[in-house]
Each structure stands twice: as C-alpha cells, then as structure tokens.
Amino acid sequence: MPSLLAKCQQPNAQGRIQHVTPENANWRFVGFDVYHLKAGQSLPLESGNKELCLVLVAGIASLTTLRAQYPSIGKRMSPFERTPPYAVYVPHHDKIEVRAESALELAVCSAPGNGHLPSRLITPAEVGVEYRGKGRNQRLVHNILPDSEPANSLLVVEVYTDEGNTSSYPSHKHDQEDSPNETYLEETYYHRIQPEQGFCMQRVYTDDRSLDECMSVYNRDVVKVPRGYHPVATLAGYDSYYLNVMAGPVRRWKFTWEKDHAWINTDSYPVTQ
C-alpha cells in the first residue's frame, strides 16, 4: 500500500505543493491538490471528467470558468481566522482560470462528475457552521459542501481543533459499500498547524489491525484515509486546522463509531470547563 502520509513539497512551476490522485493513492474517487500562488500569478485548470470544489484556504482571487466569472472573492488571509471560506463548485468538462490578487493558498478538491450542475460560488454565508463534541473533544466545523447541497460525488468540510483536544473522534469509519448503516468514502486530510513549526498526530486503523498507522503530521501535510478509523490529536501549544475531502459511490456521509470509544458521546463523559 502507498504511504498514507503525503509530505508538503516545494512549489513546482505552477505553485503546486500537494498532489493526490486516485492512481497514486491506490483508490477510486478522491483527488486533491494545493497551490501556493503569488499575487498576480495565474493558474489554468481543467475539470475533465471530474467535478471540482476550489477552496480559498487563504487569500483573494478572481476565477473565470467557461460560463461564469467570480471576481475578487476571498476574505480571510489565514485559515486560523476561523471565518468560513469562499469556494467555487465547478462541473465536469469545464475550464477555469484562477488569478491570485494576493498571496493565495488554493485547495482543488476533485471526484468523478457526470451530472449537469452549473458552476456556482459558495460564499461564507452559505457555509454551515457548527460545534461538535464536548470537553477535550470539542471542535469547530465549517460545512463547505455537505451532502445536503448539490454535487455529484464531493463532500468538503474544514475543522478547527484547539491545542490539547482530539478531533474526528470518537473514532469512526466509513468504508462499507452496500451497507444500510455506513457508506464507502475515501478521505483526505490537509493539515495546517499554528504556530507552523508544530505537529499533530493522526492514526488510521481497522478493527482487525491489518491497517494500523500512526503519523506525526506537520504543516501542509496530507493524510490519506482509504479505510478504517482516523482520529486526530493536537499537542499543547499548537492549534489544528484541516480540510477534508470525501467521495465514494454514494454521496452520503454515514459512518460507524468504534464500539470501544462510543461512550465518549454519552453523558458519562466528564466535561471540564
């Protein structure tokens, strides 16, 4: 199996620092790229047979597709401002020109697309904001492209976890096809750490432990989750942000808790102030 950890790379000529494809991840659905563009730099993209969700992680840009223009979108200059992002949904067989109007951190999320949806702007006001968990399991969630909004395959969400807290926890999984209780969804985690020299820990494992990897994850690394449970733990002094991309044969987020830790969702869990 390919490594589940994709380390941040030096920018190539186009500014790309991460490149996950179904081929190099050895799976079927999710693709994920990150670009660092300088102010004034342009980036041409084509969706081909995939749909895209372009998330402005940080910075301001103008985007043009074959049929629409989205001038000067973006507001936050760091994901740790904790305000919802701007994003653009792009259908299959479209072309996009991205022009950075400031330093730009752009995530390009992709998955199979075969419908007839138009491109659309997703504004911060359209991003669902919620808090999950309690005690040391609390986190802030921005639902950028949830299964309640139109798309063919993609699900996109970002999560903030304070220092010393856990996230994507209690441990849960979504790796079963044709199950009434669970859907098969591949997933990527694009991690950002504040301050940048820090790291967090992420474990990916299955019930039978045929897959069991624990990774130290640094700023702008990507963790690939082909199956199994995948909790994240932050360390004292360092806050965590991650952008999740999920896709599978059925566009629904249905998961199963790991039985050993499901009690953390109950009133038996001690909540500290």
Domains and CATH numbers, the chain: 5-265 (2.60.120.10)
Contacts for 61 with CB less than 8 Å, ≥ 6 apart? 37, 72, 73, 74, 98, 99, 100, 101, 102, 104, 106
For residue 199, what are the β-bridge partners? 218
Rounded average pLDDT per 10-residue block, the chain, 273 residues: 90 97 97 98 98 98 97 97 98 98 98 94 98 92 97 98 96 94 97 98 97 98 98 98 97 95 80 54
Sheet holding 199-205, edge to edge: 166-167, 232-233, 199-205, 212-218
- Cis bond upstream, residue 85 (ω within 30): no
CA-to-CA separations, 160 to 50, 88, 142, 254, in angstroms, rounded? 28, 21, 9, 21
Residues sharing a CB contact under 8 Å with residue 190, sequence separation 6 or more, in sequence order: 18, 32, 34, 57, 107, 220, 222, 242, 243, 244, 245
Q: What pLDDT is stored for residue 1 in this prediction?
A: 59
The single-letter code of the amino acid at 210 is S
Residue 265 confidence (pLDDT): 82
**Residue 178 CB contacts under 8 Å (≥ 6 apart), including other chains:** none
Q: pTM, whole model, 2 decimals?
A: 0.96
User: Can you give the C-alpha Rg of the chain in angstroms?
Assistant: 18
Contact in structure between 241 and 55 (CB atoms under 8 Å): no
Centroid of chain to Cα 120 = 19
**Following DSSP, what letter does each residue of 27-77 receive, concatenated?**
SSS-EEEEEEE-TT-EEEEE-TTEEEEEEEEES-EEEE-SS-EEEEE---S
CB 32 within 8 A of CB 3: no
Q: Which amino acid, one-letter code, is at 87?
A: A
What is the per-residue pLDDT for 115? 87
User: Which CA distances in Å does 124 have to 35, 92, 142, 194?
Assistant: 21, 24, 9, 22
